Amino acid sequence: MMLELINLTKKYGRYTAVDNVSLKVEDGEILGLLGPNGAGKSTTVSMISTTLSPTGGEIRISGKSLHKHPLEIKKIMGIVPQDIALYEPLSARDNLEFFGCLYGLSGKALGRRVDEVLEIIGLQDKQKQDVSQFSGGMKRRVNIGAALMNSPRLLILDEPTVGIDPQSRNHILETVRRLNRERGMTVIYTSHYMEEVEAVCQRAAIMDHGKLIALGTKDELRESLGVLDTLTVDIQPSGQAKAADIENLPGVRRVALEPDRLVILLSPKEGSPIGILDALKQSGLQPTSFKYEEANLEHIFLQVTGKSLRD
Ligand code: ADP
Protein backbone atom coordinates (compact mmCIF):
# COMPACT_ATOMS: atom_id res chain seq x y z
CA MET A 1 0.00 0.00 0.00
CA MET A 2 1.59 3.29 -1.07
CA LEU A 3 -0.84 5.79 0.40
CA GLU A 4 -3.64 5.65 2.90
CA LEU A 5 -5.84 8.56 3.93
CA ILE A 6 -7.80 7.87 7.10
CA ASN A 7 -10.64 10.29 7.90
CA LEU A 8 -8.55 13.15 6.57
CA THR A 9 -10.11 16.52 7.41
CA LYS A 10 -9.17 20.17 6.92
CA LYS A 11 -11.23 22.96 8.40
CA TYR A 12 -10.86 26.69 7.94
CA GLY A 13 -12.79 28.08 10.87
CA ARG A 14 -16.28 26.65 10.47
CA TYR A 15 -15.74 25.81 6.81
CA THR A 16 -14.70 22.23 6.04
CA ALA A 17 -12.55 22.13 2.89
CA VAL A 18 -11.77 18.38 3.19
CA ASP A 19 -14.35 16.33 5.01
CA ASN A 20 -13.42 12.94 6.49
CA VAL A 21 -11.79 11.53 3.37
CA SER A 22 -10.58 7.90 3.53
CA LEU A 23 -8.98 6.07 0.63
CA LYS A 24 -6.14 3.71 -0.26
CA VAL A 25 -3.76 3.85 -3.20
CA GLU A 26 -1.91 0.67 -4.14
CA ASP A 27 1.74 0.53 -5.11
CA GLY A 28 2.12 1.15 -8.85
CA GLU A 29 -1.35 2.61 -9.33
CA ILE A 30 -2.37 5.87 -11.03
CA LEU A 31 -5.26 7.37 -9.09
CA GLY A 32 -7.16 10.32 -10.52
CA LEU A 33 -8.48 12.84 -8.03
CA LEU A 34 -11.38 14.39 -9.90
CA GLY A 35 -13.74 17.15 -8.91
CA PRO A 36 -14.90 20.65 -9.85
CA ASN A 37 -13.07 23.77 -8.70
CA GLY A 38 -13.37 24.16 -4.95
CA ALA A 39 -14.00 20.44 -4.33
CA GLY A 40 -11.00 20.14 -1.99
CA LYS A 41 -8.48 18.46 -4.30
CA SER A 42 -5.63 20.94 -3.79
CA THR A 43 -6.20 21.00 -0.05
CA THR A 44 -5.98 17.19 0.02
CA VAL A 45 -2.80 17.20 -2.06
CA SER A 46 -1.26 19.98 0.06
CA MET A 47 -1.82 17.91 3.19
CA ILE A 48 -0.15 14.90 1.54
CA SER A 49 2.78 17.09 0.50
CA THR A 50 3.02 18.52 4.07
CA THR A 51 2.48 22.16 3.01
CA LEU A 52 -0.77 22.13 5.02
CA SER A 53 -1.41 20.29 8.26
CA PRO A 54 -4.68 18.38 8.65
CA THR A 55 -7.21 19.33 11.31
CA GLY A 56 -8.12 15.68 11.70
CA GLY A 57 -7.37 12.19 10.50
CA GLU A 58 -4.18 10.58 9.35
CA ILE A 59 -1.99 10.16 6.26
CA ARG A 60 0.10 6.99 5.89
CA ILE A 61 2.67 6.61 3.17
CA SER A 62 4.25 3.22 2.57
CA GLY A 63 2.78 2.13 5.89
CA LYS A 64 4.26 5.00 7.93
CA SER A 65 2.53 7.96 9.53
CA LEU A 66 3.42 11.16 7.63
CA HIS A 67 2.99 13.16 10.79
CA LYS A 68 5.55 11.04 12.67
CA HIS A 69 8.09 10.48 9.87
CA PRO A 70 7.89 13.53 7.57
CA LEU A 71 11.54 13.68 6.53
CA GLU A 72 11.90 10.00 5.77
CA ILE A 73 8.67 10.00 3.75
CA LYS A 74 9.47 13.15 1.80
CA LYS A 75 12.45 11.30 0.31
CA ILE A 76 10.14 9.01 -1.64
CA MET A 77 7.68 11.70 -2.76
CA GLY A 78 7.74 14.06 -5.72
CA ILE A 79 5.29 16.93 -5.65
CA VAL A 80 4.27 19.03 -8.63
CA PRO A 81 2.30 21.94 -7.20
CA GLN A 82 -0.18 23.99 -9.22
CA ASP A 83 1.97 27.11 -8.98
CA ILE A 84 5.14 26.88 -10.96
CA ALA A 85 8.14 27.55 -8.73
CA LEU A 86 11.25 27.86 -10.89
CA TYR A 87 14.20 30.24 -11.12
CA GLU A 88 13.34 32.15 -14.30
CA PRO A 89 16.77 33.66 -15.03
CA LEU A 90 18.37 30.19 -14.91
CA SER A 91 18.35 27.57 -17.66
CA ALA A 92 16.26 24.41 -17.50
CA ARG A 93 19.39 22.42 -16.75
CA ASP A 94 20.49 24.78 -13.95
CA ASN A 95 17.03 24.61 -12.42
CA LEU A 96 17.11 20.83 -12.36
CA GLU A 97 20.64 20.88 -10.90
CA PHE A 98 19.46 23.23 -8.19
CA PHE A 99 16.60 20.90 -7.20
CA GLY A 100 18.95 17.90 -7.41
CA CYS A 101 21.30 19.63 -4.91
CA LEU A 102 18.37 20.15 -2.57
CA TYR A 103 17.86 16.40 -2.63
CA GLY A 104 21.53 15.83 -1.82
CA LEU A 105 22.80 14.88 -5.28
CA SER A 106 26.19 16.13 -6.46
CA GLY A 107 28.98 15.52 -8.96
CA LYS A 108 28.52 12.88 -11.66
CA ALA A 109 25.36 11.42 -10.09
CA LEU A 110 23.74 14.85 -10.28
CA GLY A 111 24.74 15.31 -13.94
CA ARG A 112 23.46 11.85 -14.83
CA ARG A 113 20.14 12.43 -13.12
CA VAL A 114 19.69 15.81 -14.83
CA ASP A 115 20.30 14.10 -18.20
CA GLU A 116 17.78 11.36 -17.40
CA VAL A 117 15.15 13.84 -16.27
CA LEU A 118 15.68 16.09 -19.32
CA GLU A 119 15.05 13.02 -21.46
CA ILE A 120 11.88 12.13 -19.54
CA ILE A 121 10.43 15.66 -19.85
CA GLY A 122 11.60 15.93 -23.47
CA LEU A 123 13.59 19.15 -23.10
CA GLN A 124 17.16 18.01 -23.92
CA ASP A 125 17.27 20.40 -26.91
CA LYS A 126 16.22 23.37 -24.82
CA GLN A 127 18.19 22.61 -21.66
CA LYS A 128 20.48 25.63 -22.01
CA GLN A 129 17.70 28.16 -22.55
CA ASP A 130 16.58 30.38 -19.72
CA VAL A 131 13.28 29.27 -18.25
CA SER A 132 12.02 32.88 -18.61
CA GLN A 133 11.83 32.26 -22.39
CA PHE A 134 9.74 29.10 -22.00
CA SER A 135 6.02 28.72 -22.70
CA GLY A 136 3.73 27.85 -19.78
CA GLY A 137 3.71 24.22 -20.90
CA MET A 138 7.50 23.98 -21.04
CA LYS A 139 7.79 25.57 -17.59
CA ARG A 140 5.31 23.01 -16.30
CA ARG A 141 7.49 20.23 -17.74
CA VAL A 142 10.54 21.63 -15.93
CA ASN A 143 8.40 21.75 -12.79
CA ILE A 144 7.62 18.06 -13.22
CA GLY A 145 11.32 17.43 -13.85
CA ALA A 146 12.19 19.13 -10.55
CA ALA A 147 9.83 16.74 -8.73
CA LEU A 148 11.48 13.78 -10.48
CA MET A 149 15.04 14.68 -9.46
CA ASN A 150 14.95 12.52 -6.32
CA SER A 151 13.53 9.49 -8.23
CA PRO A 152 10.29 9.43 -6.21
CA ARG A 153 8.18 6.30 -5.78
CA LEU A 154 5.07 8.43 -5.32
CA LEU A 155 4.44 11.35 -7.69
CA ILE A 156 1.67 13.83 -6.96
CA LEU A 157 0.53 16.22 -9.67
CA ASP A 158 -1.93 19.01 -8.94
CA GLU A 159 -3.83 20.05 -12.11
CA PRO A 160 -0.67 19.76 -14.23
CA THR A 161 -2.31 20.66 -17.54
CA VAL A 162 -4.31 23.76 -16.62
CA GLY A 163 -3.68 26.63 -19.03
CA ILE A 164 -1.00 25.03 -21.19
CA ASP A 165 -0.64 24.26 -24.90
CA PRO A 166 -2.00 20.94 -26.28
CA GLN A 167 1.45 19.65 -27.22
CA SER A 168 2.80 20.00 -23.68
CA ARG A 169 -0.44 18.59 -22.34
CA ASN A 170 -0.06 15.44 -24.43
CA HIS A 171 3.58 15.19 -23.46
CA ILE A 172 2.70 15.39 -19.77
CA LEU A 173 -0.01 12.74 -20.08
CA GLU A 174 2.37 10.43 -21.93
CA THR A 175 5.13 11.09 -19.36
CA VAL A 176 2.83 10.11 -16.50
CA ARG A 177 1.85 6.87 -18.27
CA ARG A 178 5.48 6.10 -19.05
CA LEU A 179 6.74 6.72 -15.49
CA ASN A 180 4.07 4.39 -14.23
CA ARG A 181 4.64 1.71 -16.88
CA GLU A 182 8.43 1.69 -16.97
CA ARG A 183 9.31 2.57 -13.40
CA GLY A 184 6.26 1.37 -11.53
CA MET A 185 5.77 4.86 -10.12
CA THR A 186 2.61 5.41 -8.10
CA VAL A 187 0.86 8.59 -9.25
CA ILE A 188 -1.88 10.79 -7.85
CA TYR A 189 -3.23 12.90 -10.67
CA THR A 190 -5.49 15.78 -9.76
CA SER A 191 -7.68 17.26 -12.47
CA HIS A 192 -11.07 18.67 -13.30
CA TYR A 193 -10.77 17.30 -16.85
CA MET A 194 -12.51 13.96 -16.91
CA GLU A 195 -10.98 13.03 -20.31
CA GLU A 196 -7.51 13.21 -18.77
CA VAL A 197 -8.43 11.14 -15.76
CA GLU A 198 -10.08 8.60 -18.06
CA ALA A 199 -7.05 8.50 -20.34
CA VAL A 200 -4.38 8.20 -17.66
CA CYS A 201 -5.78 6.79 -14.44
CA GLN A 202 -6.74 3.25 -13.49
CA ARG A 203 -9.13 4.45 -10.78
CA ALA A 204 -10.84 7.73 -10.04
CA ALA A 205 -11.67 9.29 -6.68
CA ILE A 206 -14.48 11.81 -7.19
CA MET A 207 -14.63 14.71 -4.74
CA ASP A 208 -17.29 17.35 -4.25
CA HIS A 209 -17.74 19.84 -1.40
CA GLY A 210 -14.74 18.34 0.42
CA LYS A 211 -16.20 14.83 0.47
CA LEU A 212 -15.11 11.71 -1.35
CA ILE A 213 -18.31 10.73 -3.11
CA ALA A 214 -17.20 7.84 -5.33
CA LEU A 215 -14.10 5.71 -5.85
CA GLY A 216 -13.28 2.99 -8.34
CA THR A 217 -12.44 2.09 -11.93
CA LYS A 218 -14.80 3.49 -14.53
CA ASP A 219 -16.52 0.10 -14.78
CA GLU A 220 -16.84 -0.21 -11.01
CA LEU A 221 -18.31 3.29 -10.78
CA ARG A 222 -20.80 2.58 -13.61
CA GLU A 223 -21.77 -0.65 -11.94
CA SER A 224 -22.06 0.56 -8.34
CA LEU A 225 -23.80 3.82 -9.17
CA GLY A 226 -26.17 2.24 -11.68
CA VAL A 227 -25.21 4.79 -14.35
CA LEU A 228 -27.08 4.46 -17.65
CA ASP A 229 -25.51 3.81 -21.05
CA THR A 230 -26.99 5.09 -24.31
CA LEU A 231 -28.02 2.90 -27.25
CA THR A 232 -28.94 4.80 -30.41
CA VAL A 233 -30.60 2.70 -33.15
CA ASP A 234 -31.29 3.95 -36.67
CA ILE A 235 -34.63 2.70 -37.96
CA GLN A 236 -36.59 3.97 -40.95
CA PRO A 237 -39.20 5.04 -40.29
CA SER A 238 -39.13 4.86 -36.51
CA GLY A 239 -42.87 5.59 -36.43
CA GLN A 240 -43.62 1.85 -36.40
CA ALA A 241 -41.82 1.48 -33.08
CA LYS A 242 -43.86 1.64 -29.93
CA ALA A 243 -42.04 3.31 -27.05
CA ALA A 244 -44.10 1.40 -24.48
CA ASP A 245 -43.00 -2.00 -25.90
CA ILE A 246 -39.35 -1.01 -25.88
CA GLU A 247 -39.57 0.39 -22.35
CA ASN A 248 -40.66 -3.07 -21.19
CA LEU A 249 -37.45 -4.72 -22.44
CA PRO A 250 -34.89 -5.70 -19.75
CA GLY A 251 -32.73 -2.82 -18.54
CA VAL A 252 -34.45 -0.11 -20.59
CA ARG A 253 -35.13 3.01 -18.52
CA ARG A 254 -36.17 5.55 -21.10
CA VAL A 255 -36.86 5.68 -24.84
CA ALA A 256 -36.96 8.74 -27.09
CA LEU A 257 -38.55 8.28 -30.53
CA GLU A 258 -36.96 10.55 -33.12
CA PRO A 259 -37.99 10.64 -36.83
CA ASP A 260 -35.53 7.97 -37.94
CA ARG A 261 -33.96 6.70 -34.77
CA LEU A 262 -34.51 5.51 -31.23
CA VAL A 263 -32.43 6.75 -28.32
CA ILE A 264 -32.55 4.22 -25.47
CA LEU A 265 -31.13 4.72 -21.97
CA LEU A 266 -30.06 1.35 -20.69
CA SER A 267 -28.87 -0.02 -17.37
CA PRO A 268 -25.86 -2.18 -18.30
CA LYS A 269 -26.46 -4.27 -15.20
CA GLU A 270 -29.88 -5.40 -16.32
CA GLY A 271 -29.86 -5.44 -20.09
CA SER A 272 -27.58 -5.65 -23.11
CA PRO A 273 -27.60 -3.77 -26.42
CA ILE A 274 -27.58 -7.10 -28.30
CA GLY A 275 -30.69 -8.23 -26.43
CA ILE A 276 -32.48 -5.03 -27.36
CA LEU A 277 -31.47 -5.17 -31.02
CA ASP A 278 -32.73 -8.77 -31.19
CA ALA A 279 -36.01 -7.80 -29.59
CA LEU A 280 -36.45 -4.91 -32.04
CA LYS A 281 -35.92 -7.26 -35.00
CA GLN A 282 -38.35 -9.81 -33.60
CA SER A 283 -40.99 -7.13 -33.35
CA GLY A 284 -40.59 -6.49 -37.09
CA LEU A 285 -38.38 -3.40 -36.98
CA GLN A 286 -35.29 -3.25 -39.18
CA PRO A 287 -32.39 -1.50 -37.44
CA THR A 288 -29.95 -0.21 -40.08
CA SER A 289 -27.15 0.80 -37.70
CA PHE A 290 -26.59 1.44 -34.05
CA LYS A 291 -24.21 3.17 -31.65
CA TYR A 292 -23.58 2.13 -28.05
CA GLU A 293 -22.04 4.65 -25.68
CA GLU A 294 -20.92 3.62 -22.23
CA ALA A 295 -21.33 6.24 -19.55
CA ASN A 296 -18.07 8.17 -19.13
CA LEU A 297 -16.72 9.87 -16.00
CA GLU A 298 -18.55 13.07 -16.94
CA HIS A 299 -21.90 11.21 -16.93
CA ILE A 300 -20.97 9.45 -13.70
CA PHE A 301 -20.05 12.76 -12.08
CA LEU A 302 -23.29 14.33 -13.28
CA GLN A 303 -25.25 11.47 -11.85
CA VAL A 304 -23.64 11.50 -8.39
CA THR A 305 -23.45 15.26 -7.90
CA GLY A 306 -26.32 16.49 -10.06
CA LYS A 307 -24.00 18.98 -11.75
CA SER A 308 -21.49 19.17 -14.55
CA LEU A 309 -17.74 19.09 -13.90
CA ARG A 310 -17.43 22.26 -15.95
CA ASP A 311 -19.80 24.39 -13.86
P1 ADP B 1 -9.90 22.37 -5.58
O2 ADP B 1 -8.43 22.10 -5.60
O3 ADP B 1 -10.73 21.12 -5.71
O4 ADP B 1 -10.29 23.40 -6.62
P5 ADP B 1 -9.39 23.57 -3.02
O6 ADP B 1 -8.81 22.46 -2.21
O7 ADP B 1 -8.44 24.57 -3.58
O8 ADP B 1 -10.30 22.97 -4.16
O9 ADP B 1 -10.43 24.37 -2.12
C10 ADP B 1 -11.45 23.73 -1.38
C11 ADP B 1 -12.26 24.77 -0.65
O12 ADP B 1 -11.50 25.31 0.43
C13 ADP B 1 -12.64 25.96 -1.52
O14 ADP B 1 -13.98 26.30 -1.25
C15 ADP B 1 -11.71 27.05 -1.09
O16 ADP B 1 -12.32 28.32 -1.22
C17 ADP B 1 -11.47 26.71 0.39
N18 ADP B 1 -10.15 27.18 0.85
C19 ADP B 1 -8.96 26.83 0.33
N20 ADP B 1 -7.94 27.42 1.00
C21 ADP B 1 -8.51 28.18 1.96
C22 ADP B 1 -8.01 29.04 3.00
N23 ADP B 1 -6.70 29.25 3.16
N24 ADP B 1 -8.92 29.64 3.80
C25 ADP B 1 -10.24 29.42 3.65
N26 ADP B 1 -10.77 28.62 2.71
C27 ADP B 1 -9.94 28.02 1.87
Task: For residue range 72-83, list pLDDT tens digits in order.
Answer: 999 999 999 988
Pair (147, 56) in one structural domain: yes
Would 306 be classed as within a structural domain? no
Domain final residue pick, 222, 256, 285: 222
Domain final residue pick, 222, 250, 283: 222
Query: 40: Cβ below 6 Å to ligand 1?
Result: yes
* CA distances to 63, 213, 256 from 55, in Å: 21, 20, 50
Pair (198, 245) in one structural domain: no
CATH of the domain at 240: 3.30.70.100
Compare 137 and 240 and report the one with higher pLDDT.
Answer: 137
CB-based burial, 203-240: b 16+ in 10 Å, e otherwise: bbbbbbebebebbbebeebbeebebbbbbbbebeebee
Pair (66, 205) in one structural domain: yes
Would 309 be classed as within a structural domain? no
Residue 310 pLDDT > 80 = no
Would 279 be classed as within a structural domain? yes
Pair (147, 21) in one structural domain: yes
pTM of the model: 0.87
Pair (47, 187) in one structural domain: yes
Pair (264, 163) in one structural domain: no
Domain final residue pick, 172, 188, 222: 222
CA of 57 to the centre of ligand 1 (A): 18
Pair (178, 248) in one structural domain: no
CB count, 10 Å around CB of 19? 17
Mean pLDDT of the chain: 93
Residue 311 pLDDT > 70 = no
Pair (237, 176) in one structural domain: no
Position in ligand 1 atom list of the atom nearest CA 43: 6
Q: Which residue blocks in 103-242 are alpha helix, DSSP H? A: 107-121, 136-148, 166-183, 194-200, 218-225
CATH of the domain at 62: 3.40.50.300
Ligand 1, atom 17, lies closest to the CA of 17
Task: For residue range 242-277, list pLDDT tens digits in order.
Answer: 777 899 999 999 899 888 889 999 998 899 999 999
Domain extent, residue 285, equals: 228-294
CA of 183 to the centre of ligand 1 (A): 33
Position in ligand 1 atom list of the atom nearest CA 37: 4
Number of domains in the chain: 2
Position in ligand 1 atom list of the atom nearest CA 10: 12
Residue 222 pLDDT > 90 = no
